[in-house]
Chain A
Amino acid sequence: MRVEYINPFVESAFNVMKEVLQADVKRGELYLKSTSMPVMGVAAIVGLAGDVEGRVLFDMDKPTALKIASAMNGEDITSMDDLAKATITELANMITAQAVTKLHELGFRFDLTPPAIFTGDNMEVSNQDVEALIVPMETPQGKVEINVAIRERA
């Protein structure tokens, strides 16, 4: 993944989460991964197209998703209902959109696909060919992993 793409994603994830959760967010060490990976329980995915092709996956477990949805809505949400799903989807959309805006300022053209959300137990995402950058974020609500896989169109 091009070096120029890394910072916009890391920064916008950090800024957006800090703002919507009104809390201290910590960023973990970045690393690369290419094998299939288990999904913790709730995964929001946004596709990228344009100069590049790729996707951004936001992965967290269900309690974290519920706590984040509660914090963002200012009310207690206890089950993965439509509102909870819409909130997580919106979070994914906000982070990706802000990153894409930053990239646009740097001269890279990306388009987004509407986000989709997957929930369930024992899920796994595998596309072995694609190498993903993992940005782990620690929030008071729990751990969120942002998995960015982008490659240049050959």
Chain B
Amino acid sequence: MSAQAADTLEAGKRPDEKKERADKIDFKMVTFSLAGKEYGIDIMNVKEIANAGRFTYVPNAAPFVRGVYNLRGDIISIIDLRTMFHLPAERKDDDSLESLLILRVDDHAFGVIVDNIDKVVGVSSAGIQPPHPIFGDINVKYIKGIIENQGKLYIILNVEKLFAPKDEEPEQEMPGLRRGPAQRATPEAAAVAAEAPASAGGSGPAGDVNAEFIRETLFAFRRFGVSAVNDDWFRARYAEWKGMRKPTDLQLREQADADAYLETFYSRCTGELWSEDYADAVVSALPKVESRSINVWNPGCGKGYETYSLAVALRRAYPEARIKIWANDSDLLAISMAPNMVFTPENVPEHYVDHMVKGRNGYTFNQSIRESIFFEFHDVMNSNPVPPVDFILCRDTVSFLSAADQGKLFGDFCEKAKQGGAVVLGTNERMPLEGWRRVGEGPAAVYVRTA
């Protein structure tokens, strides 16, 4: 990338022009590195540099806010630029110090954590080139320009835009501006939708009139949308169904028939806490998270069993991490019970008991688990206000949408999942899109994002 950028830079300059520019140094910047790349910030925005650690954690803050810090009496917030830009961040002990740039924008001071602070570099502002679209890691909007100095390319960040008070939610805007995935979302949506009717008219059981009819009635009775996501299961189930029923009795006449047909569809441990082996299978298939905070989106969490199960499984795998799960469902009755679910210890798999506390009416999950989960009454077809996430847990939810809505939701998955993030689908579901690779075995349908 930097080689290409250098070419573009060179192409725009004639040698004499370059010499003239070098004479006049009127822009100074503090340079630092993030994930191996060099960046600069206008020195006028930098109040000082510092090494600090042991930040005070602020509950409910955005994932990139590491906490607050007492700078000689002033309380300033500490932002991790690497998390903010979804770059890999090296994990440090609680006690070790981070390199901090204390910035000043308008009247606000705050600290940003970077990998390494390098030095102050003076350049000519005429030599600053506008940001090039190939600088994919960081939103072009937040880049003031790029500049070459002694053979190195520095990306100059626009601090005012990044931290402007009116723009307090850079995170909200970032997914949209991470151009690749967002733009691809629409064709992907179309791909899911288009594949369904195509296979409907195709060969095999789908060509069968009865199969056609079952497809339609499944949607009418249970809003189950047969598509590329679950077609494999649908075909296998149809073959089975034909063996079970008389030829005159193949069609689904009422809801009970639809439920009978769908009986084998549901994933393992639906409507109950996950067994230890299933939870282990899922978590071991998920990619390792290096950062200290893990964000999860759980659309269609129902009563919340799977949310709690995953929260406990992640807590066991990452005892130190900050785990946040946004769990939502559009069934008000189901989800309103979720935050205060009560269990009897005899009825839950043993490994959950350590994470429970005894309350008045029985056992509930302890505060640490409960505080990691936001249960929301929310319809995924409306705009999804979750930040970028490491994992998406969405078992047997996508299938209960129309093919067009499935495409839209997958588009949102692509927008919300971080690079290298993963989606957990239902046992009988399959990721229809390109750019995702299956990693889980057997019932753990885990797909990792590769593009």
Contact = CB atoms under 8 A, between A and B. Distances in A.
Contacts of B379: 32, 34, 131
Given A34-B382, A131-B383, A3 B377 contact: yes
Nearest to B336: A3
Contacts of B257: none
A23 interface: no
A4 interface: yes
B62 interface: yes
A152 B172 contact: no
B374 A2 contact: yes
A135 B169 CA distance: 29
Given A3-B336, A154-B62, A154-B169, A128 B383 contact: yes
A117 interface: no
B339 A3 contact: yes
Nearest to A29: B332
Given A51-B60, A131-B382, A1 B330 contact: no
B373 to A, nearest CB: 10
Question: Which of B62, B338, B376, B386 is packed against the most chain A CB atoms within 10 Å?
Answer: B376
A37 to B, nearest CB: 13
A12 B336 CA distance: 17
B30 interface: no
Contact of B332 (A30, A130, A154): A30
A46 B91 CA distance: 43
A67 B385 CA distance: 39
Contacts of B338: 3
A34 B383 contact: yes
B377 A154 contact: no
Interface residues of B, number: 23
A81 interface: no
A103 B379 CA distance: 23
Interface residues of A, number: 19
A2 B301 CA distance: 13
A127 B283 CA distance: 38
A6 B336 contact: yes
Contact of B376 (A2, A7, A153, A154): A2
Nearest to B381: A34
A50 B62 CA distance: 14
Question: Which of B60, B62, B169, B171 is packed against the most chain A CB atoms within 10 Å?
Answer: B60
B274 interface: no
B237 interface: no
B268 interface: no
B383 A152 contact: no
Contact of A153 (B169, B332, B335, B377): B169
Given A2-B374, A3-B375, A3-B377, A154 B383 contact: no
Interface string A128-152: 1111010000000000000000011
A34 B378 CA distance: 10
A119 to B, nearest CB: 28
B387 interface: yes
A22 B214 CA distance: 54
A97 B75 CA distance: 31
A128 B171 CA distance: 19
A2 B335 CA distance: 10
Contact of B387 (A1, A30, A154): A154
Nearest to B338: A3
A7 B336 CA distance: 9
Interface string B400-434: 00000000000000000000000000000000000
Interface string B161-188: 0000000110110000000000000000
Nearest to A133: B377
Given A151-B385, A153-B169, A154-B387, A131 B60 contact: no
Contacts of B330: 32
Interface in A95-142: 128-131, 133
Contacts of A2: 374-377
Contact of A131 (B169, B339, B378, B386): B378
Contacts of B374: 2, 152
Contacts of B386: 154
A32 B383 CA distance: 12
A32 B169 contact: no
A153 B336 contact: no
A4 B62 CA distance: 20
A3 B339 CA distance: 8
A40 B171 CA distance: 35
Nearest to B384: A131
Contacts of B168: 153
B364 to A, nearest CB: 14
Interface in A1-25: 1-4, 6-7
Interface in A24-72: 30, 32, 34, 51
B60 A154 contact: no
Interface of A: 1-4, 6-7, 30, 32, 34, 51, 128-131, 133, 151-154
Given A4-B375, A51-B60, 4 more contacts: A1-B378, A32-B330, A130-B383, A154-B387
19 contacts: A2-B374, A2-B375, A3-B335, A3-B336, A3-B377, A4-B339, A4-B375, A6-B336, A30-B332, A32-B330, A34-B382, A129-B383, A131-B382, A133-B377, A152-B60, A153-B169, A154-B169, A154-B171, A154-B386
A-B pairs, 4 with minimum CB distance = A34-B382, A131-B382, A3-B375, A129-B383
